[in-house]
Amino acid sequence: MLIIDVKESESIDRALKNYKRKVQRVGILKELRRRKQFDKPSVKRRSELLKAAYRLKKYGSS
């Protein structure tokens, strides 16, 4: 649960901006999107291997 401290002189727009920034920093939306669909462990491993191969090809060990 996120807690946003709002001062008396602070506007609601500023509080919303702080809330959005905190949600993004904590990564709640990313986690929700990740949990939305189940990926089999074999599929996860395969995607990790493909990403690693791509990074190695692109940035290489030249």
What dihedral angle (degrees, nearest 10) is formed by the CA atoms of 14, 15, 21, 26? 170
What's the one-letter identity of residue 25? R
List the structure tokens of 49.
């291997």
Provide mean pLDDT across the span 36-40.
93
Q: Quickly list H helices, the chain.
A: 12-26, 28-35, 41-59
> What would the mean pLDDT of 32-42 be, rounded to a whole number?
93
What's the rounded Cα separation, in Å, for the pair 51 and 29? 22
Mean pLDDT of the chain: 91
Coil, helix or strand for 12?
Answer: helix
Residue 62 has pLDDT above 70, yes or no: no
